[in-house]
Chain A
Amino acid sequence: MNAIPQLFFDAMSLGGIYAMAALGIALIFGVMKLVNFAHGEYIAFCVFALIVPSTDAVAVMFIGKAPAIVLIPILLLVGAAVAVASEFFVFRHMRRATPVAMMISSFALGFVIQNTLLLVYGSRPKAISLWPELNKPVSIIGASIPLLQIIVILTTLIVVVALALLLKKTRIGLEMRAAAENFTMARLLGVRANVVITGAFALSGALAAAVALIMVTQTGVADVRMGGQIMLVAFIATVIGGLGSLPGAVAAGFLIGAASVILQGFLPLEARPFRDAFLYTLVIVVLLLRPDGLFTSNSTKPRV
């Protein structure tokens, strides 16, 4: 049988997407204590940036026309730019606000982005064919796996390793880790708050762009609402992982992906439509047992 490797690749690739989205949220929470609910809309924004702005039913490629080697960096920059802009225009003015006030403004910002997309692109989901050849199956250890799944898993690994190196080996990484642990103390040592926060938003936005590319290649659809579901799962992953913990966010992302795929594979047929109910029951159980998440981080203490 080849069901087991098939499940494994399904779980890893779904988990990889969740992990990258969760990292985007955890990075900003780490330095700002902000749960940025606009993150899902960054993803949708990046998807729509691929096509020409119009309310027509048929999507015409815009950035999406470029070859991958140009397209990928441009879209990462678009993601970083929208995140940095939202920090500059919204969150920068709320530095002294409570985390709850910041969270609510992130909801508001999300609605603004979503409705702007609605206005410009219309409400109908549009078919986008980006790199369709990646959905062709390849045969690995007896299982037939879409090439995209392997690329997603590799991309996640590369992103996680690159992020770990950036945080561990660079000046900005050191400052981000120090600021995540104790922002006031970091500033007293001359760490510039604006640089660290802008850096965190840029990284988070670039991660949103990576997720956008994967989602649109996988589903072939651009939908204004496509950020909502992934944002919810990613947020849950950051909570389970321990808010503010980056390794926790990655691990929990993979965990939720795996649990989701396993439930899909092993639940009795008549229970499968309710897979998410079972999934979130598991989430509740985890949080009852470990209210601070699986990997607690001392940066969850409120910023002074």
Chain B
Amino acid sequence: MSKLGVYDVAVRYGKIPALEDVSFTVSEGERLFISGPNGAGKSSLLKAICGAAPTSHGRIEVDGDVLNGRSPEAIARLGLTMVPEGRDIFGTLTVEENLRVGTGIRRDKSAIETDIEEVYENFPMLADRRHANAGALSGGQQQMLAIGRGLMTNPKLMLVDEPSLGLAPNIVDQVYQTLVNLQKDRGLTLIIVEQSSARAARVGGRMLLLRGGNVVGDGDSVKFAESDLLKEAYFGQDTPEGPS
């Protein structure tokens, strides 16, 4: 149902290319990690998919609907949701208001209240703070809230940008456990930008390796972790002994 296709996509900021020519497809219910060094174009790729960055070339499709040129709010209506890097919680809104911002696009209004309760069941620490300003939450709680907020749009495909950024390792474990469980329960398609290939290998799934705006590898994340491809992606073939 929610098959994502990215074909020959390029993104540039002014004259600077962020993505050069990226193609891949993701099938329903799949978990795809996007990994690679800083500046590889990981975030630009997610932004291009959700409509936050315009593409300069190529085509992005979900279930046959072309996404290029559509506004972010129109793309959200097709069942894509974004959990951005840095989480972008609405700090002046309460936790519950954050959860409700994305419910405007839903047709099944009657299910909203039960879904909110479900989010609180998944994230009990949010339930305790439901009327508190979201800006007062800890980083881990904000990450959970960002995921819950995305879920409240009732998505088919969830894009998660660097969920481990700035969080303690045990919190990162929790975040990934939650994502994996949600995927199991709801049949979500997940695309996760994760800089740490070791982390991606531990969670398991397919991995797309980017470098310099191009795809340089596509395969099982566990196999990647054992191969030299990663080192090449991060340091380049002709880099002399080790990082400086």
Interface centre among B51, B73, B149 (most CB of A within 10 A): B73
B153 at the interface (CB under 8 A from A): yes
| Chain A 286-304: CB-based contact to B (< 8 A → 1; otherwise 0) | 0000000000011000000
A181 at the interface (CB under 8 A from B): yes
| Chain A 263-304: CB-based contact to B (< 8 A → 1; otherwise 0) | 000000000000000000000000000000000011000000
B1-9, B95-103, B175-183, B208-216 - the one binding chain A = B95-103
* Chain B residues touching A, range: 20 to 34
A175 and B104 contacting across the interface, CB-CB below 8 Å: yes
Point out the residue from A174, A175, A178, A190 that lies within 8 Å of B76, measured CB to CB.
Answer: A190
Given A189-B149, A298-B91, decide whether A175 and B101 contact each other with a Cβ distance below 8 A. yes
A171 and B104 contacting across the interface, CB-CB below 8 Å: yes
Give A175 to B105 CA distance when docked, in angstroms: 12
Given A184-B52, A184-B72, decide whether A189 and B91 contact each other with a Cβ distance below 8 A. no
A134 CB to closest chain B CB (Å) equals: 38
| Chain B 77-94: CB-based contact to A (< 8 A → 1; otherwise 0) | 100011010001011110
* Chain A residues touching B, range: 10 to 19
Residues of B within 8 A of A298 (CB): 91-92
A190 and B77 contacting across the interface, CB-CB below 8 Å: yes
A191 at the interface (CB under 8 A from B): yes
Interface centre among A174, A187, A188, A192 (most CB of B within 10 A): A188
A225 at the interface (CB under 8 A from B): no
| Chain A 168-205: CB-based contact to B (< 8 A → 1; otherwise 0) | 00010011011001101111111111000000000000
Residues of B within 8 A of A182 (CB): 88, 90
Residues of A within 8 A of B90 (CB): 177-178, 181-182, 185-186
List residues of chain A with CB under 8 Å of any chain B CB: 171, 174-175, 177-178, 181-182, 184-193, 297-298
